[in-house]
Structure 1
Amino acid sequence: MKISSKRLLCLLAASLLLPVQAATLIKADKLYTSGEQGVIETAYILIDEGKIQSVSDSEIQIPAGTEILTAKVVLPGLIDSHTLVGINGAYNVSADQDAFEQSDPTGAEYRVLDSFNPAEKLIEHVRKFGTTTIHVTPQPFAPIGGATALFKTHGDVADQMLLKNNAAMLFNLGEAPKSAFRSSGGPGTRMATAARIRGELYKAREWMEQDEDKRKPDLAMQALANVLSGEMQAIFTAHREDDIGTALRIAREFGLTPLINYGTEAYLIRDELKQAGATVIMAPTMQRPAGMEKWNTTLEAAAIMDNADIPFVFAGGYEGYVPKARVLLWETAVAIANGLDKQKAIEAATIVPARLWGIDKQVGSIETGKDADLVLFDGDPFEYTTHVKAVLINGEQVD
């Protein structure tokens, strides 16, 4: 196909108007890679086209037009493993609260992606403190809450921000299901809550065993079938020791590898967690001991879990008041102040959750070829006098 000279000139002129993202070089006095290179003193990170091109401890040749940023310390973008940001909003009114469907206590067919609002202000709130990836869950109230999803904290369209859909199914035990559904015919006791979960899983197993051409389409059964087959992970919200025990029991009955959400008293049931191969999505370090379920909360929980060699990740959790989730950076800092090794803490907010959610080829560490999601600080990230200088997502400075 021939293009006229006039047409060609128009195309060239238009191309000149398109923004071109220049390469970026970051000079860090100290770099925590969360990868094989470990901690690097005086590091150089070259970023181009949204990806990390090189990580070095010596000066490198800088391409012409490269933007240069400096920082005292650089971390990989933080990953929040349990938050409602993006589906519960800053105004805290019914119009922007889309995390909890109260019409049905067994909502396996619900998907967080269909509630996610990229324009929600709280996304910017957590991002400015270094959180670049969020694992968004339904509100931890219904016995079966629905399917979770992982998003970057920058973008205009939910599907463009999406890293992984249907990452896990949220099951909830303890006080929340009792309080949410007792008056509407739902479970009013712990045993009834557990029975609802078991009942739906048994139904899904029977549905799976039917001939495919005879199955009736069923969104809930398909979602739970994905859990039973291992395609989707199973998260059990449980604070108390006995509720954690129930979660492990259900997981064992159905051949599931359990993820314990909150696990306020997980440190009291360490041997059982280890035997089950469970991972704990930690309650926020500064969680208030409000209500009987949380009376035994402790600032040393993460350090105790680490000493017991039980894998864990950090999370902002859920709060009923704005800003709905805690700041992951601060919760991690307080865990360090209460006995957790700093390197272990950084990994629990970066590479460990990336591996847990199966997104470690893209994010979680500062390594060649990965997405350029980084946080730049003007001092020790975990000192209260330190500031976040910049947040980069896919190589773009967004804060």
Structure 2
Amino acid sequence: MLLIKNGTIITMCSDIIENGEVLIDKGKIIKVGENINVSSNCEIFDAEGGFVMPGIIDAHCHIGMWEDGLGFEGDDGNEITDPVTPQLRAIDAINPMDRAFKEAYENGITCVCTGPGSANVIGGQFATIKTKGKRIDDMIVQEPAAMKVAFGENPKRCYNSKKQTPSTRMATASILREYLFKTKNYIKNKDKNENFDMKLESLIPVVNGELNVKAHAHRADDIFTAIRIANEFGLKMTIEHCTEGHLIADELAKEGYAAIVGPSLTTRSKVELKELSFETPKALYKAGVKIALMTDHPVIPVHYLPMCAALAVKAGLDEEAALKAITINPAEILGISHRVGSIEIGKDADIVVFDKHPFDIYAKTKLVLIDGEIAFIDAKHKN
């Protein structure tokens, strides 16, 4: 057993507990509160007045897919040879030895959803994983976690340079519809059809509404195209990036799709980003859209996710909403809130102790637990 004491507990499921305690056993949280009675052989970590919060979750990144400090050899995120690749699985490309993982967990990022990029209309399958481990199979929380699809600039740019479709937004939407229709027909005739199609097999859970679609869309018109197609086919979907979301926040609130916003700590490097602003999360939140924040690592290094949340607060987002946007909201959006995202009895002991408020630029991690195991501990507390 391990008891974390003398900390301000940001539970993300109930009120903040001043000078609270968290008891952990066998990788799970078993008690949360004040003055918890423990046996004499229980290990104790003194938070010394610091802040204790759930492990931070990045709901959209590409960690391990574009490896840190490498060029082509570590670039495994986009298969730019075919605009339709739903059969590709992130777990076959993620390298847990990428040093970005160490930077992630040492800074309190304990869980990420990572996967293919946005070159293809249908890019492949994301996976949700813990950030510490040597073997990807042992790090998985959810796989597949979502199917990546992309609208707007990226697919048309990648394939226009090859002189093939799609080179327009019309073609991108048409290709996606075509494969969704093909999959519906494939399901209908599966018992009669002896021809196995791996692409269509991979899309069956998407068409059945069992697997979420991550829809890459920056511009307002692309966001509406994603919504149009999702509504046509009854898809489960989240809007990824949602850069112009603040321009259409009321409309998005009516539709009910969650938005995973970012990366905001970047330059306006392409046309689609001309409206890039840290005020987008505030506008969406105030309109009633459920939001999470992302880094899109390696666009923003994944360990800067708390900084992105702090900058969103600076731009007007409610502080509690910003904390939720990197903890319980991504957990709920990804469908893993039964395990992570808050400090609650029965959940995985993914916990971070900061010496200052996590949005303080000077805040440092004192302790990081993943599944109750110490992923990081500061020099002062090492034996």
Q: TM-score, normalised by structure 1?
A: 0.90
Cα distance in 1 between the residues matched to 2:65 and 2:375: 21
Confirm whether residue 265 of structure 1 aligns to residue 244 of structure 2: yes
Q: Which residue of 1 aligns with 2:367?
A: 390
Cα distance in 2 between the residues matched to 1:85 and 1:246: 28
Contact 1:285 1:301 (C-alpha < 8 Å) held by counterparts: no
Q: Secondary structure at the match of 1:212?
A: coil
Q: Which residue of 2 aligns with 1:75?
A: 53
Aligned 1:67-146 pairs, distance under 5 A: 67-71=44-48, 72-146=50-124
Q: Which moved more, 1:105-114 or 1:69-78?
A: 69-78
Confirm whether residue 345 of structure 1 aligns to residue 322 of structure 2: yes
1:241 maps to which of 195, 207, 220: 220
1:57 maps to which of 25, 28, 34: 34
1:190 maps to which of 159, 169, 189: 169
Cα distance in 1 between the residues matched to 2:218 and 2:122: 16
Aligned 1:156-195 pairs, distance under 5 A: 156-184=134-162, 185-195=164-174
- 1:316-355 C-alpha deviation (Å, 9 max, x unpaired): 11446xx665621111111111111111111111111111
Cα distance in 2 between the residues matched to 1:337 and 1:324: 20
Shift of 1:62: 3.9
Cα distance in 2 between the residues matched to 1:302 and 1:69: 35
Cα distance in 2 between the residues matched to 1:69 and 1:118: 31
Cα distance in 2 between the residues matched to 1:294 and 1:211: 43
Contact 1:258 1:277 (C-alpha < 8 Å) held by counterparts: no
Shift of 1:38: 2.5
Aligned 1:219-258 pairs, distance under 5 A: 219-258=198-237
Q: Which residue of 2 aligns with 1:310?
A: 289
Equivalent position amino acid for 1:230 in 2? G
Shift of 1:375: 0.8
Cα distance in 2 between the residues matched to 1:122 and 1:100: 19
2:357 maps to which of 365, 377, 380: 380
> Which of 1 and 2 has greater Rg?
1
Confirm whether residue 24 of structure 1 aligns to residue 9 of structure 2: no
- 1:139-161 C-alpha deviation (Å, 9 max, x unpaired): 12211100111000011211110
Cα distance in 2 between the residues matched to 1:337 and 1:274: 23
1:331 maps to which of 305, 308, 311: 308
Contact 2:63 2:298 (C-alpha < 8 Å) held by counterparts: no
Equivalent position amino acid for 1:142 in 2? N
Q: Which residue of 1 aligns with 2:277?
A: 298
- Structure 2's unaligned 5+ residue stretches are 377-383
Q: Which moved more, 1:134-143 or 1:267-276?
A: 267-276
Q: Secondary structure at the match of 2:186?
A: helix
Contact 1:172 1:236 (C-alpha < 8 Å) held by counterparts: yes
Contact 2:210 2:236 (C-alpha < 8 Å) held by counterparts: no
- 1:114-136 C-alpha deviation (Å, 9 max, x unpaired): 11112111111222221100000
Cα distance in 2 between the residues matched to 1:331 and 1:319: 14
Superposition RMSD in Å: 1.6
Contact 1:317 1:326 (C-alpha < 8 Å) held by counterparts: no
Equivalent position amino acid for 1:172 in 2? A
- 1:200-254 C-alpha deviation (Å, 9 max, x unpaired): 1111111111142524222210121110101111111011111111111111111
Cα distance in 2 between the residues matched to 1:45 and 1:218: 50
2:261 maps to which of 282, 293, 302: 282
- 1:255-307 C-alpha deviation (Å, 9 max, x unpaired): 12331100100111223312221110101232322221111111111111111
Q: Which moved more, 1:144-153 or 1:265-274?
A: 265-274
- 1:144-197 C-alpha deviation (Å, 9 max, x unpaired): 100111000011211110000011111101111112111222311111111111
Cα distance in 2 between the residues matched to 1:250 and 1:227: 12
* 1:243/1:54 CA distance change after superposition, 3 Å: same
Q: Which residue of 2 aligns with 1:204?
A: 183
Q: Which moved more, 1:228-237 or 1:208-217?
A: 208-217
Q: Which moved more, 1:205-214 or 1:113-122?
A: 205-214
Cα distance in 1 between the residues matched to 2:340 and 2:64: 20
Q: TM-score, normalised by structure 2?
A: 0.94
Cα distance in 1 between the residues matched to 2:9 and 2:139: 26
Q: Which moved more, 1:26-35 or 1:77-86?
A: 26-35
Q: Secondary structure at the match of 2:29?
A: strand
Equivalent position amino acid for 2:183 in 1? A
Q: Which residue of 2 aligns with 1:148?
A: 126
Cα distance in 2 between the residues matched to 1:226 and 1:297: 33
Equivalent position amino acid for 2:272 in 1? E
Cα distance in 1 between the residues matched to 2:64 and 2:297: 12
Q: Which residue of 2 aligns with 1:7?
A: none
Shift of 1:31: 0.8
Contact 2:84 2:122 (C-alpha < 8 Å) held by counterparts: yes
